[in-house]
Chain A
Amino acid sequence: MDLIFLSPLLFLLGTATILWPKSLEMAAHYVGMMFAAVGSAVLLYKSGLYLISAGVLESADGWLVTGRWGSYSLNADLWSAPFLVITGLAGFIISLYGMDYAKGYRGNGLRALTGQWNLFLLSMVMVLLAGDAFTFILAWEVMALVSFLLVNHESSKKETVSAAYQYMIMTHLGTAAILVAFYILGSGVGSFSFTAFCNNKLPADVKHIVFCFAFAGFALKSGLMPLHVWLPNAHPAAPSHVSALMSGVMLKVAVYGFGRFVFQFIGIDTLWQGGLVMTVGLISAFLGVLYANMEKDMKRILAYSSVENMGIIFTGFGCGMILKHLGLEALSLVAFTAVLVHAFTHSLMKCLLFMSAGCVMHATGSKNIEIMGGLAKKMPWTAFFTLIGSMSLASLPFTGGLVGEWLTLQSLYTLAVNGGDEIRLLVVFGLILMGLTGALALGCFVRLFGVVFLGRCRSKTIDKAHEQPFFMVLALGIEAALIIAVGIFPSPLVAAMEGIFTGGNAVVPMATDFALLWSGTGNFYNQLSAYCPIIFAVIGLALFGLCYLSIMGNTLVRSEVTWNCGTYPTARQQYSATGFSKPLRRAFDFILKPRREKVYLEKEHDYFGRIMRFNLFVPDRFTDRLYHPIEHFMVRISSTLLMIQQGSVRLYIAYTMIAMVAVLLWGVM
């Protein structure tokens, strides 16, 4: 047996800790988390080796894993490898984090939490390893159910339960769509194994139907708009390490499934498929970050940011599909590389930020950023690592977040240059929206970091805040270090991800004229990075030197309280989170439609003696305009159907009788 099978085995053993007696609760938790961490590490090691050696292909037949047991089969190829690496890495780091974090659930279903944690990891690995539709759907369904249980962990809270059930309904709709896609494929091929699917001879329009169902199903799991509604509710409801794993890994598993459909089962034979994927991705990216700017709940901000980043990933995917359809094979590989690179880096940074949100919640007991402030003094390490994660999510240079986004933008640009007239308009809009997305993401994370960690304390909740236990900070530190490492030396990552498509060979155009676009020099692979941080460093140093020189002369330093029209500045005078995003709310009023509610509790005079309550609420427009009408429609239909269910036996007999007469008459006709 291959070493990689050790990993699911360890997860299974970890799941078994759920059966330990209550008195050994803490031991069960530690052992379970150790199993999860070691299992993930094994997975990371094996799949990482396989990924890096993609050109050599050490294993005899080119599979990472292959096996068959009755109607179940496992197959993992190069397309599974990056996602296995993502799972292994995130699973390892978050399990370390969870070891300390989940201690807060002691006496409150801790064993269940740890056991389900292992099962969740196991199900995701099985989805990635599945070699036929049956195994895939089985693992997919286990993944959905276990994540539902994990989201529902704090089931004493009402909003948690409603979020969890919303998630369950949505995810089952997605599963249904994927099932339909598999069913159409399977009935056309006569087998459910992925190898058979690859060689299908289905007519083109059937393939288009399969594509639509697969895209709907996987887009739902990735949280693309307008199928994202479960995501901003489920993530805040789940325990933080679970949200980190869901956002960091589970959303990427959907990208994996979608990629398998597109590359192997359906093929890319029309333009509109890529166009659709790209449009949906762009809308998700832009609206996701816009809504992230409006939220006050730390984890909801991160959840909407996940929508944004999945949007960017799918934009890159759609871009690659269009390029491939146009016959620009080499350029499309860059776009698909961008997808994988961004999936990887997004996993890093979103895990980091969700864990950091967990730290903040742990320290203050709240997710509302309006009542925080000045946490950097109390939790310096957390603050520092969060800063790195925030910078990365805002795609600043020297962080991992830039690499993927840069590659995506470059692909869009090559599409604009080479794509021809039909799609130029789409690409121009795409570039504008991507630009806006980047700017808004910067604003969003400046706001998040500034309001939570900088400034003055806004309320008493901060007083008892303290730095977090060792393992939690360690996990944050590892992620932050990786983000910086990827940001400064992205080349190995990019090369490994590219090797998936090229079998380890360098893509041709990058070494020629196009390399000018990528790195500023003629040769891509001799550079350290895809976007040449040296240039950034030089520019940065020059700017810094300029500023330094201009300030040099004035060495007079006086310490004074900030001038504030004669009053002493208080915490209430700093920018609040709501205030910070006010300009955006005004600018995008027509999209967001915020609801403002003013109530005068006391009003002596028009100008003084007033006490006012002001409520600002930014509704999710998709919920209002799409889901509520559907919901009302369904309820109306159901109550209409209820009319025939009167609970009267005589009526039911009458139905039988009418049916009988109808059948007889029909037989006579």
Chain B
Amino acid sequence: MEYLVVFLILVVFLQTRIMELHRATYLLAVQSAIIAGSCVIVGVSSGGGGFHAFLPGLLTLGVKVIFIPWAILRLIGEIKDESEINSNINVNYSSLAAAFFLVMGYILADRLLPGTIGRDIFAATFLTIMTGLTLIVMRRRAIMQIVGLITLENGIYFFGLLMTEGLPLIVELGVFLDVLIAVVVLVILTGRMRLSFMTTDTGVMRKLKG
């Protein structure tokens, strides 16, 4: 579990540095895979095995590691313009923010939940959540924002898993369905946006303001 958390922190840090869309998507898949692994570990260690212990992990694997990256990659495949895929903006602020959030996560863990066993896990989930938000706020590309959203979602899911040690099945199914639909809608919208505006830069959306 500790190794997974270290990997997760590393991957999230990397996410803040990467601007190329393919690699960002791969990273997202890796991150989701780590979450899936953690799910299985938590499931096995808390409940006495069985189908239910593996279900969240399998669902994460299916939805977040395979389906969503696949859909995003398909979308990227349709983009021909090189400047759309690579964009040069200063990513240092996002990394700095991630570092800040990691520190803040540890402080929060110590102050709000003293004596929790999963201190590192808490800090990592907080980092994931806040980095997801940072990606949404600081990136202009629609696809990067989708990646940010999934990261955020991963963080929240992992946090919930840690706190409750396994949610009821129906809740888990609902959460995954939500994410799935949100991503499908976002992918479709991004595709439409590319057709209408010839770009996936969300800055152009400001033109729609009345």
| Residues of A that sit less than 8 Å from B by CB | 646-651, 653-654, 656-657, 660-661, 664-665, 667-668
B108 touches A668 (CB 8 A): yes
The 3 tightest CB contacts between A and B, nearest first, are A647-B209, A654-B137, A668-B111
B137 touches A664 (CB 8 A): no
A667 to B126, CA, bound (A): 15
Q: Does B134 contact A (CB under 8 A)?
A: yes
Q: Does B21 contact A (CB under 8 A)?
A: no
A601 to B112, CA, bound (A): 81
Q: Does B202 contact A (CB under 8 A)?
A: yes
CB within 8 Å for A657 and B104 given contacts A649-B205, A668-B112: no
Give the chain A neighbours of B123 by CB distance below 8 A.
none
A657's nearest neighbour on chain B, judged by CB, is: B133
Highest count of chain B CB atoms <10 Å: which of A661, A665, A667: A661
A509 to B15, CA, bound (A): 93
| Residues of B that sit less than 8 Å from A by CB | 104, 107-108, 111-112, 130, 133-134, 136-138, 140, 145, 202, 205-206, 209
Give the chain B neighbours of A647 by CB distance below 8 A.
206, 209
A664 touches B108 (CB 8 A): yes
A650 touches B108 (CB 8 A): no
Give the chain B neighbours of A664 by CB distance below 8 A.
104, 108
Q: Chain B's nearest CB lies how many Å from the CB of A476? A: 53
Interface of A: prevailing SS? helix
B208's nearest neighbour on chain A, judged by CB, is: A647
Q: Chain A's nearest CB lies how many Å from the CB of B137? A: 4
Give the chain A neighbours of B137 by CB distance below 8 A.
650-651, 653-654, 657
A654's nearest neighbour on chain B, judged by CB, is: B137
A657 touches B108 (CB 8 A): no
Give the chain A neighbours of B138 by CB distance below 8 A.
650
B130 touches A657 (CB 8 A): yes
A653 touches B133 (CB 8 A): yes
Give the chain B neighbours of A651 by CB distance below 8 A.
137
B104 touches A661 (CB 8 A): yes
Give the chain A neighbours of B136 by CB distance below 8 A.
650, 653
B136's nearest neighbour on chain A, judged by CB, is: A653
Q: Chain A's nearest CB lies how many Å from the CB of B113? A: 11
A651 to B133, CA, bound (A): 11
B202 touches A649 (CB 8 A): yes
A646 to B205, CA, bound (A): 12
Q: Chain B's nearest CB lies how many Å from the CB of A655? A: 9
A647's nearest neighbour on chain B, judged by CB, is: B209
A646's nearest neighbour on chain B, judged by CB, is: B206
A650 touches B202 (CB 8 A): yes
Q: Chain A's nearest CB lies how many Å from the CB of B83? A: 20
A648 to B104, CA, bound (A): 27
A665 to B104, CA, bound (A): 8
A648 touches B206 (CB 8 A): yes
